[in-house]
């Protein structure tokens, strides 16, 4: 897993036979405390499948929780902006989604 110190997401990079290659949760900024990392999952997920499909998942849950949990407007805007950025970065294989994870995953076989 990748926990960036200043971004609103966390990412998992999967080996086969997982159907998804990359699974990114939109979250609050991860916080490290006493050797543990915590964040709040904001429902939206960006997923790149092994066949190249790109999915923005759980938009319905995000909309429902905005009302049910009374998400502040700033949190909603940040989550939506992060999802759009991730769709571009994951889809275009930019930054940490460009294959750097492959050498690490190869060590798990």
Strands ordered across the beta sheet of 20-27 = 9-13, 20-27, 41-49, 54-57
Residue 109 lies in a domain: no
Which CATH number goes with the domain that contains 62? 2.40.380.10
Residue 32 lies in a domain: yes
Residue 45 lies in a domain: yes
Task: Give the total number of structural domains in the chain.
Answer: 1
Residue 100 lies in a domain: no
Please give the full DSSP string across the chain, using - where no structure is assigned.
-B--SSSSEEEEE--TT-SEEEEEEEESPPEEETTEEE--EEEEEEEEETTS-EEEE-HHHHHHHHHHTT--HHHHHHHHHHHHHHHHHHHTT-GGGSSTHHHHHHTT-
- The whole-angstrom separation of Cα 25 and Cα 40 is 10
Residue 74 is predicted with a pLDDT of 97
Residue 102 lies in a domain: no
For residue 55, give its domain range. Answer: 9-95
pLDDT tens for the chain, residues 1 to 109: 899 989 999 999 998 889 999 999 999 999 999 999 999 999 999 999 999 999 999 999 999 999 999 999 999 999 999 999 999 999 999 988 988 877 777 777 6
> Does the predicted TM-score (pTM) go above 0.75?
yes
Residue 55 is predicted with a pLDDT of 98
Residue 68 is predicted with a pLDDT of 97
Residue 101 is predicted with a pLDDT of 78
Residue 100 is predicted with a pLDDT of 80
Residue 104 lies in a domain: no
Q: What is the CA radius of gyration of the chain?
A: 14
């Amino acid at each position: 897993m990748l926990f960036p110190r200043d971004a609103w997401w966390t990412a998992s990079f999967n080996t086969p036979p997982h159907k998804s290659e990359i699974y990114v949760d939109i979250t609050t900024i991860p916080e490290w405390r006493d050797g543990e990392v915590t964040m709040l999952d904001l429902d939206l997920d960006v997923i790149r499948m092994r066949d190249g499909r790109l999915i923005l998942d759980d938009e319905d849950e995000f909309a429902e929780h905005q009302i049910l949990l009374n998400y502040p407007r700033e949190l909603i805007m940040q989550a939506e902006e992060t999802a759009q950025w991730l769709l571009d970065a994951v889809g275009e294989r930019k930054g940490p989604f460009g294959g750097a994870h492959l050498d690490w995953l190869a060590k798990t076989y």
